Amino acid sequence: MKNIENSSIIVGNAFHRLMEFSMDLSNLKFYRAKKLLSDFALSSTNESLVLSSVEKILNSVKCSKLLAPDSDFILIESEWANENGDILRPDRVDFKLKKKLSMLLNLSGD
């Protein structure tokens, strides 16, 4: 059971590594993605899972709209404190200054 949990954490960390490029995910080339994943102890099955998950995001109309580069400012994996002093670390925060809009994205495996 512990190995499955560790494997899931490694897969999640690898996925998040690739999503750090979400500002320009469509230009993340396959060989660059594989090189980034080489830092993780992934089986070939888990590597394929991560790469296919990113591909699904790229091919999703809904996700593409969320990740469209029309934001004025984007922060990736930055830490924030809320009014209670809790530390939050969303995957991505988009700021659309002219529209006075911000959008928090937190990616999950679901």
Question: Which residues constitute the domain of residue 81?
Answer: 67-105
Domain count, the chain: 2
Q: Which position has the token pair 């029309």?
A: 70
Among 44-48, 68-72, 106-110, the least confident range: 106-110
Higher-confidence residue of 1 and 42: namely 42
Same domain, 29 and 52: yes
d(CA 22, CA 77): 11
Same domain, 59 and 73: no
Residue 14 domain-assigned?
Answer: yes
Residue 110 domain-assigned?
Answer: no
Same domain, 42 and 85: no
Same domain, 12 and 57: yes
Question: How much is the pLDDT for 78?
Answer: 81
Same domain, 19 and 54: yes
d(CA 54, CA 64): 11
Question: How much is the pLDDT for 45?
Answer: 92
Residue 60 domain-assigned?
Answer: yes
Q: Report if pTM > 0.75.
A: no
Work out the average pLDDT over 54-63.
Answer: 82
Question: How much is the pLDDT for 110?
Answer: 47
pLDDT over threshold 70, residue 22 = no
In angstroms, the Cα distances linking 93 to 2, 41, 87, 107 are 33, 29, 15, 12
Q: Which position has the token pair 């979400």?
A: 22
Q: How many residues are listed for the chain in this entry? A: 110
Work out the average pLDDT over 52-68.
Answer: 80
